[in-house]
Structure 1
Amino acid sequence: MGSVISYLIDAAPPKTSYSVDQIPDLTGKVVIVTGANTGIGKETAKALLAHGAKVYIAARNQASSEEAIRQLKQETGNEAIFLTLDLANLKTIKASAEEFLSKETQLHILINNAGVMASPVELVTADGYDLQFGTNVLGHYYFTKLLLPILTSTAKSTSEGNVRVVNVASCAHLFGGLDFNTFKDGPARKKCSTAGLYNQSKFGNVVLALELAKRYGDQGIISTALNPGNIKSDLQRHVEPQLPSIVKQILANVVLYETSQGALTQLYAATSPEAASLNGKYLVPWARVRSPRQETQDAQLGKALWEWLEEQVKDM
């Protein structure tokens, strides 16, 4: 019952006093936003570019990304940079990180925004992991791990003394948990529903963000997790075809918010001076701190997940 109440509270958030106008000057800051070719990520990149940041759009679809970069330049006057990133393929993740590191010596903000939702259960990653967990959790973990050296060195060299890693989770974590037997393809995973696997991945995002905060907070990493809100975006592309038309109308007109709203909380976490004190915290719409599901805070679970993730990439 508590999870349902928390979901309902966050589904209808109060009006916010925070806006993109409060983002500080980001001139000289280097930022990566995964999945910024569309939806909330694109809106996030737009606000960052408008405030002077050097923004890398890390995404799988080059054509879509290049079109997004063209549109964003028209809207902001500043040009983002495309970085190939397929979070469902560990080898290409390594190549993406290496490409970025060959171009930059600093990274001030990493926004792990990309994700998949409600994909068919039969879909798995290139390495045989559940597509949703493999993309949303393992993929982002590995990308972040490879960038930790540049993140920590940047933190040491900046006047702020910290860098931000923002992990986009969801209110869906309220209904999730971690079953390690379902992270990779196998009989246990095939018995799961696509919604259950999505909830698990978002639960994992919250657990991982807290563990990152614990392990690297003393090196200047400010790691947060957040629920961006119920947003109109193509994240629901696998869900909408299954819904009755009346439900689609209710979602569009009552429940779902615009992508510009969805970007607010992650922009706050990534750029607000106040958010520098939020290491390990969980945010909800719009730019507010709240407690996540209590089970995500279990220290042993966080340690076990981190060690499992480390094991998956140790030979890459």
Structure 2
Amino acid sequence: MGNVLSFVADAVPPKATFSANQIPNLTGKVVIVTGANTGIGKETAKVLLAHGAKVYIAARNQAASQEAIRQLKQETGNEAVFLKLDLGDLKAIKASAEEFLSKETQLHVLLNNAGIMGPPIELVTTDGYDLQFGTNVLGHYYFTKLLLPILTSTAKATPDRKVRIVNVASCAHLFGGLDFNTFKDGPARKKCSKATLYNQSKFGNVVLALGLAKRYGDQGIISTALNPGIINSDLLRHTGTQFPSIVKKILFKAVLYDVSQGALTQLYAATSPEAGSLNGKYLVPWARVKQPRQETQDPQLGKALWDWLEEQVKDV
């Protein structure tokens, strides 16, 4: 019952006290936003560009990303950089990280924003993992792991000796857990609903964010997880398929917040001076610290997930 009440509270948050106008000048800062060719990620990239950051849009679809870059330049006057990233393919993730490292010597913010929700159950990653867990958790873990050296070296060179890793989770984590037998394709996974697998992946995001905070906080990493809110974005493209499109559009408009609202909490985590002291914390709409589901804080579970993730990528 407590998780349901927490979900309802986060779904109807109080008025925001943080706005994009409070973001400091980001000139000289290098930022990667995964999945920034659409939705909340695109809105986040727009605000970061408008404040002077150099923004890499890390996404799979090059055509959509280039169109997003064109639109963002029109809106902000600044041009983002495309970085090809397929979070459902471990070898492609490695190539993406190598491409970025060949271009930059600093990385101030890694915003793990991309995600997939409710795809057809038969879809899996290139490497045979559940598509939601493989993309949302394993993919972001591996990308982050490969960028940790540049993140920690950047932290040493910054005045406050800190850099940020922002991990976009969801209120769905409140209804999740971790069943290691379902991370890869197999009979156990096929018995799960799409919602169960999504909730699990978002639970995993919170656990992973805390693991990063514990392991790398002393090297200048500020790792947070967050719920961006219930937002009308492209993440919902696989949901509501039982409704006629006009009904779906009306329903979504009535109950969902705009992407400009959805970007607020991650922009706060990524840029605000106050968020520099929030290592290991979980944020909810709009830019507020709150306790996540208690089970995500279990150190034994955190270690088990970390060890599993390490095992998956050791031979890539």
Q: Same fold (TM over 0.5)?
A: yes
Size of the aligned set, in residue pairs, is: 316
Letter in 2 for 1:185: D
Task: Answer yes or no: is the 8 Å Cα contact 2:72–2:78 preserved in 1.
Answer: yes
Query: Which residue number corresponds to residue 10 of structure 1?
Result: 10
Q: Are the counterparts in 2 of residues 11 and 255 from structure 1 also a CA contact under 8 Å? A: no
Cα contact 2:213–2:222 (8 A) shared by 1: yes
Q: Give 1:213's aligned residue.
A: 213
Q: 2:212 & 2:247 partners in 1: Cα distance? A: 38
**Offset at residue 63 of structure 1 (A):** 0.3
The Cα of 1:251 is off from its aligned counterpart by 3.5
1:256 aligns with 2:256: yes
Q: CA deviation at 1:253?
A: 3.3
Tell me what 2:150 maps to: 150
Does the aligned pair in 2 maintain the 1:110–1:165 contact within 8 Å? yes
Equivalent residues in 2 for 1:245-284, closer than 5 Å: 248=248, 251-284=251-284
Alignment of 1:108-123 (within 5 A): 108-123=108-123
Q: Is the 8 A contact 2:232 2:253 kept in 1?
A: no
Q: Which runs of 5+ in 2 are unaligned?
A: none
Please report the RMSD computed on the Cα atoms of aligned residues, expressed in angstroms. 1.1
SS at match of 1:27: coil
Summarize the alignment of residues 82-161 of structure 1 with structure 2, pairs less than 5 Å apart.
Answer: 82-161=82-161
Q: Letter of the 1:40 partner, please give it.
A: I
Take 2:249 and 2:96, find their aligned partners in 1: how far apart are those partners?
39
Structure 1 residue ranges, 4+ long, deviating more than 4 angstroms after superposition: 244-247
Counterpart of 2:263 in 1: which secondary structure? Answer: helix
Residue 167 of structure 1 contacts residue 209 of structure 1 at CA under 8 Å; is this kept in 2? Answer: yes
Q: Which one-letter code corresponds to 1:17 in the other structure?
A: T
Could you tell me whether the CA contact under 8 Å between 1:225 and 1:280 is conserved in 2?
yes
Counterpart-to-counterpart distance in 1, 2:208 and 2:4: 23
Which residue is equivalent to 1:168? 168
Corresponding position of 2:66: 66
Distance 2:164 2:209 in 1: 11
Shift of 1:255: 1.8
Q: Indicate the SS of the match to 1:241.
A: coil
The Cα of 1:241 is off from its aligned counterpart by: 1.5
Distance 2:251 2:154 in 1: 42
Q: Which amino acid aligns with 1:101?
A: L
Matches of 1:249 and 1:39 in 2, distance apart? 16
1:251/1:290 CA distance change after superposition, 3 Å: farther
Q: What does 1:232-247 correspond to in 2, within 5 Å?
A: 232-243=232-243
Quick one: structure 1 residues 247 and 7, their matched pair in 2 at CA, closer, same or farther if it must change by over 3 Å?
Answer: farther
User: Which residue in 1 is equivalent to 2:29?
Assistant: 29
Provide structure 1 residue ranges, at least 5 long, that are not aligned to the other structure.
none
Q: Counterparts of 1:247 and 1:214 in 2: how far apart (Å)?
A: 45
**1:16-69 CA distances to partner (integer Å, 9 max, x unpaired)?**
121100000000000000000000000000000000000000000000000000
Aligned residue runs from structure 1 range 220-235, under 5 A: 220-235=220-235
SS of the counterpart of 1:222? strand
Per-residue CA deviations over 1:136-184 (Å, capped at 9, x if unaligned) read 0000000000000000000001102100000000000000000000000
Letter in 2 for 1:89: D
2:177 — aligned with what? 177
CA contact (8 A) 1:37 1:59 kept: yes
Identity %: 83
1:49 aligns with 49
Kept in 2, the 8 Å contact 1:141–1:309? The answer is: yes
